[in-house]
């Protein structure tokens, strides 16, 4: 929208979906506000306004609604605040349980034939701290709700437990000496402890959900090396602008989305594309922030920063999915708005009904309090948003992005699942799946390859070194090691000149595949990546061949079979060649389809 400004506010005091709805309505009433989205999971409000606006106006609107609002702190400060708050809630919960447990023990002991009861003064001493110290948060939230002219679950907790506590005090003070009064201190204390347990579990779910987003944000470096007029300077990411030149060293993550200006290297883009093999990068190629640079130094021109980067858009998708309301939640929001007033009306009606029917005032009050207490830990306003937060959070931690809450709600209707290959069914990291030595000594072949790859950051090098480690092979040092741009790597081992690389290296050396040609053709048909080990010098020759490929994840086959057992059709859609697709599809029992063999009839949907 032209001339629009966006604000992100940290919201405090929200306890359920109704709270989020009230904050949305309060911000939506501010003149100039175009749209509002409140995320209960991370307690943030995203506000879009037309033209400039003082954020203090928005903060005042939230305060008037009975909640708190501030401009967001740094990620480190936010994480520290969440940890500290969770720590406080844990101790409050433990204190409530420890004080409430002695009040409940007589009830638990009754079925065993043990009949005893704590003195009234002891029950009062145990229940009072739970009611007014540990439970102070409910009174505060209830007062804010009343001040805003609305009801929430905290108001029910405060009224219901206060009624039970007050009735117990009245019974204690008015009962004749020598008579055991009917006290309900344990009911109020236990309700507060149970509701605190629910709040604590909800806070943990929020924190775990937010951790998925923080894990994505952690992929983005906080600082970068900017090259300006030939000088290198270390700057914060938010100081970069479009078209700035950024230097990325080997093994570092790209701090921005950009275009390579100088240098050649490979980039591990598995976090974005799921592709297990590094992608070659040279001047003119695009790079993605968060991807890992390989063996070369690259100078990158910045094309996108901040919220416009690919990684930031992925993070925004996860946050929007958590903030989105499922159809059932929209209904829950409407019901929860009238739930608290309805419960209060029912409690008053219960009181009047029993009293007018002829029951004693004590009996009428007890029954009215029962209505309030039973309605206190209401799952209506908590279960749906918590389920959505937990569902999207768990999915994000497993690399699954859910488009919106409606998709999550309708997941039970799924009849067909289409799998991607790399990083979904497969591990996403290459391994040696085949090797062949001309002289038959595979261990020596692997040892020589490991010596050449020692110290390299390339994923294929890691696969070779992992294989050496698995077989317990000692990797010797090579001398005169140097990279062969676009072809591989070379070095000298015990006076023998060796080189490891692709088919281009083989052709440049003037060598033929020889007896390994048949195996090479078969392995290429499987979609494998081949590397040749050569002896260079006066009499160059082929020493052996390696085939690298991705392997199935340990639980991939079980997951596919589980879906099939539920009569869900499973297909594999991949951009790789047919051979690579068949290697994964056959053991999985999947039907395969590649864009080349089945071109789409319309624009395919975005990965989100």
Report pLDDT digits (tens) over 266-283. Answer: 887 776 665 666 788 889
Give yes or no for a contact between 168 and 127, defined as CB atoms under 8 angstroms apart: yes
Distance between first and last Cα of the chain = 23
Q: Which residues does residue 36 pair with via DSSP β-bridges, in sequence order? A: 47
What is the Cα–Cα distance from 314 to 608, expressed in whole angstroms? Answer: 8
Of all residues in the chain, the percent with pLDDT exceeding 70 is: 80
420 as an active site residue: the answer is yes
Task: Please name which of 464, 426, 438, 606 lies closest in space to residue 534, comparing C-alpha atoms.
Answer: 438
- pLDDT at residue 437 above 50? yes
Residue 570's beta-bridge partner residues?
417
Output the pLDDT for position 99. Answer: 93
Q: Are 479 and 491 in contact (CB under 8 A)?
A: yes
CB distance 519 to 545 below 8 Å: yes
Q: What is the pLDDT of residue 429?
A: 77
580/556 Cα distance (integer angstroms): 16
The reported pLDDT for the residue numbered 605 is 36
pLDDT band at 246 (very low <50, low <70, confident <90, very high): very high
Residue 235 β-bridge partners: 224
DSSP string, 126-143: HHHHIIIIITHHHHHHHH
pLDDT one-digit tens code per residue, 168-178: 888 888 877 77
pTM: 0.56
Q: Report the SS3 class of residue 515.
A: helix
Beta strands 298-304 and 279-281, pairing class: unpaired
pLDDT tens digits, one per residue of 158-215: 888 888 898 888 888 887 777 777 788 888 898 888 888 877 776 776 666 566 666 6
For residue 604, name the pLDDT band (cuts at 50, 70, 90): very low
What does the alpha-carbon distance between residue 417 and residue 398 come to, in Å, rounded to a whole number? 17
Cα dist from 216 to 30, 73, 210, 236, whole Å: 33, 18, 10, 18
| Mean pLDDT on 491-508 | 87
Of residues 70 and 458, which shows the higher confidence score? 70
Q: How confident is the model at residue 1 (pLDDT cuts 50, 70, 90)?
A: very low
pLDDT band, residue 337 (cuts 50/70/90): low
Tell me which residue of 111, 120, 108 sits closest to 180, measured CA to CA: 120
Q: What is the mean pLDDT of residues 373-386?
A: 58
pLDDT digits (tens, 9 = 90+) for 552-587: 888 888 888 888 888 888 888 776 667 777 777 777
- The 10s digit of each residue's pLDDT in 72-119 is 765 555 666 767 877 888 899 999 999 999 988 887 776 777 767 788
* Least confident interval from 2-16, 300-314, 465-479, 494-508: 2-16
- Express each pLDDT in 405-414 by its tens digit: 677 778 888 8
Mean pLDDT of the chain: 80
Higher per-residue confidence, 276 vs 515: 515
Q: Which residues pair with 9 in a beta bridge?
A: 45
Out of 8, 54, 333, 420, pick the active-site residue. 420
pLDDT at 39 over 50: yes
Instruction: Give me the mean pLDDT over the 361-377 stretch.
Output: 76
């Amino acid at each position: 929208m032209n001339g629009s400004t966006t604000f992100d506010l940290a919201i405090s005091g929200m306890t359920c979906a109704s709270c989020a709805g009230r904050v949305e309505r309060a911000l939506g009433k501010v003149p100039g506000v175009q749209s509002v989205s409140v995320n209960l999971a991370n307690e943030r409000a995203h506000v879009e306004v037309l033209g400039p606006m003082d954020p203090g106006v928005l903060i005042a609107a939230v305060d008037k609604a009975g909640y708190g609002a501030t401009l967001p702190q740094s990620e480190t400060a936010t994480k520290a605040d969440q940890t500290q708050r969770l720590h406080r809630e844990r101790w409050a919960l433990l204190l409530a349980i420890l004080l409430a447990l002695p009040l409940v023990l007589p009830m638990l002991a009754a079925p065993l034939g043990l009949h005893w009861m704590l003195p009234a003064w002891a029950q009062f001493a145990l229940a009072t701290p739970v009611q007014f110290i540990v439970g102070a948060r409910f009174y505060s939230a209830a007062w804010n709700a009343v001040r805003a002219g609305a009801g929430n679950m905290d108001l029910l907790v405060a009224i219901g437990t206060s009624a039970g506590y007050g009735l117990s005090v009245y019974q204690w003070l008015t009962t004749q000496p020598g008579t055991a009064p009917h006290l309900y201190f344990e009911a109020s204390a236990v309700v507060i402890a149970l509701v605190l347990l629910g709040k604590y579990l909800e806070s943990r779910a929020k924190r775990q959900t937010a951790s998925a987003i923080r894990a994505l944000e952690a992929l983005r470096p906080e600082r970068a090396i900017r090259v300006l007029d030939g000088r290198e300077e270390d700057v914060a990411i938010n100081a970069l602008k479009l078209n700035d030149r950024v230097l990325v060293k080997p093994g570092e993550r790209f701090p921005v989305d950009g275009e390579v200006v100088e240098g050649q290297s490979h980039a591990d883009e598995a976090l974005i594309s799921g592709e297990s093999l590094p992608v070659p990068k040279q001047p003119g190629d695009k790079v993605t922030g968060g991807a890992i640079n390989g063996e070369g130094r690259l100078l990158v021109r910045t094309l996108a920063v901040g919220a416009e980067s690919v990684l930031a858009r992925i993070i925004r998708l996860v946050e929007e999915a958590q903030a989105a309301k499922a159809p059932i939640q929209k209904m829950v929001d409407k019901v929860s708005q009238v739930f608290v007033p309805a419960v209060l009306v029912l409690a008053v009606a219960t009181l009047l009904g029993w009293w007018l029917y002829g029951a004693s005032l004590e009996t009428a009050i007890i029954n009215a309090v029962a209505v309030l207490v039973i309605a206190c830990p209401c799952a209506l306003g908590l279960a749906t948003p918590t389920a959505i937060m937990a569902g999207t959070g768990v999915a994000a931690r497993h690399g699954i992005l859910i488009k919106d809450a409606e998709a999550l709600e309708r997941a039970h209707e799924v009849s067909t699942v289409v799998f991607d290959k790399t990083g979904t069914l497969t591990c996403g990291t290459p391994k040696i799946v085949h090797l062949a030595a001309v002289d038959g000594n595979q261990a020596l072949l692997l040892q020589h390859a490991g010596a050449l790859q020692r110290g390299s950051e390339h994923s294929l090098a890691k696969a070779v070194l992992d294989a050496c480690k698995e077989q317990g092979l000692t990797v010797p040092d090579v001398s005169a090691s140097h990279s062969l741009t676009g072809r591989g790597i070379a070095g000298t081992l015990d006076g023998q000149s060796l080189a490891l690389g692709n088919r281009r290296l083989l052709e440049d050396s003037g060598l033929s595949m020889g007896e390994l040609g048949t195996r090479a053709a078969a392995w290429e048909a499987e979609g494998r990546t081949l590397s040749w080990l050569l002896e260079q010098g006066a009499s160059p020759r082929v020493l052996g061949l390696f085939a690298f490929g991705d392997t199935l994840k340990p639980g991939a086959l079980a997951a596919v079979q589980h879906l099939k057992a539920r009569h869900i059709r499973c297909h594999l859609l991949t951009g790789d060649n047919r051979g690579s697709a068949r290697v994964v599809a056959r053991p999985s029992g999947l039907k395969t389809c590649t864009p080349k063999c089945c071109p789409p009839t319309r624009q395919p949907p975005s990965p989100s």
